[in-house]
Chains A and B, each alone.
Chain A
């Protein structure tokens, strides 16, 4: 069966520090991978998606970047965090034409 791992679960970082959140998927190959941020009102905002190694699409301009160095690894990064980057970040994956399955999320607090 397929599983998705996302870490860390919580993170407190100072403003201006770098960020690296990692997500890996097991039990499947060539998944579509997504990074979302969930706002306080529970809406999910798509940040990045990837359909293959090295293929990243950004949905919104922001202080974040994403990379996919391996087929089942998706990384969310920032060189310098802003206060506004605080939030709940979710990694998700989907096979072709079916549902998205989410990781447990990372609660990021920028102080």
Chain B
């Protein structure tokens, strides 16, 4: 799986958009970009994933650059409950009958400030 680079920490004011960057310059053509977050002492929570097109769901938007070497997770209106460690992972999708080790890097500690 390709390696990712994320800032160690970020702050965001409540109600503002949180933009979390991720660099994945060694991504290969069949690898997707996944985002998870982990609130302290809880299990990781899947947020969103994409291959090359921008994606949006009820939680966030994912913007992937045209060369796919970087991406940005956008939380449009951050709340205090969005304070968590956010992980950017690049890999091929899980396949039936084959579990893959999910390698979470250090992630970005997002702190939403009141």
Q: Which residues of A contact B (CB under 8 A)?
A: 6, 32, 34, 36, 41-46, 49, 51, 57, 59, 88, 90, 92, 94, 96-105, 107
A94 and chain B: residue at smallest CB distance: B94
Q: List 16 A-B contacts (CB under 8 A).
A: A32-B94, A34-B99, A42-B38, A42-B107, A44-B102, A46-B99, A57-B99, A97-B95, A97-B96, A98-B94, A100-B46, A102-B44, A102-B45, A102-B46, A105-B41, A107-B41
Q: Which residues of B contact A (CB under 8 A)?
A: 34, 38, 41-46, 49, 85, 87, 93-97, 99-107
CB contact between B104 and one of A43, A94, A97 (< 8 Å): that residue: A43
Q: Are B46 and A99 in contact (CB under 8 A)?
A: yes
Instruction: State the main secondary structure of chain B at its contact with A.
Output: loop
A28 to chain B, nearest CB (A): 13
Q: Contacts A90-B43, A97-B93, A107-B41 known; A42 to B85 CB distance under 8 Å?
A: yes
